[in-house]
Amino acid sequence: MVNRPQNISNLFSEIKHLIEGARQAIAVTVNATTTILYWNIGERVNRDILGNKRAEYGKEVVKSLSRSLTEEYGKGWSEKQLRHCLRFAETFPKKEILYALSRQLSWTHFRTIMYLKDELRREFYIEMIRVENWNTRTLNAKIDSMLFERTAISKKSPEFFGDKQEPGT
């Protein structure tokens, strides 16, 4: 005898849960694969063609590559997108770390973080995204509100601000 759910409502709920779980897994896989693709493109162009140098030649290579990729694959391969790929590979040179993070951070997270100049600041926001599960909108709001700077200031000792306290006070 087949074991049946008590009613259609339970069956629907169970199947709905399965579908939503599969969709989430697919989204994570697609995002991670896309993120790694962008890193590989940036790393390859930078290493093999530009030789880690930014020159007029580099601008022409990016322009030509963008044109060819757009002809072959359609929009989405603008010069700006290729420059994002280059910056991405420069900002995150360790592939192993990128692989680990790519399952937790979206491409839009990376695109935002890679333009932060300070490595410590980038690491802070990466950790906050991971721990707090921030979406990109929240990340941008936290950056705009200078969360890193406010957190850093709150962690500084009173001596940092010249507020030396007398012993016993």
**Cβ contacts of 117 within 8 Å, gap of 6 or more:** none
Confidence of residue 153 (pLDDT cuts 50, 70, 90): confident
For residue 54, pLDDT beyond 80: no
Domain definitions of the chain by residue range:
7-94
Burial of 114 (0-12, 13-18, 19+ CB in 10 A): middle
Which is more confidently placed, 49 or 158? 49
116-136 pLDDT tens trace: 989 999 999 999 999 999 999
Q: Which residues of 38-68 are buried (b: 16+ CB within 10 A; e: fewer)?
A: bbebbbebbeeebeeeeeeebeeebeebbee
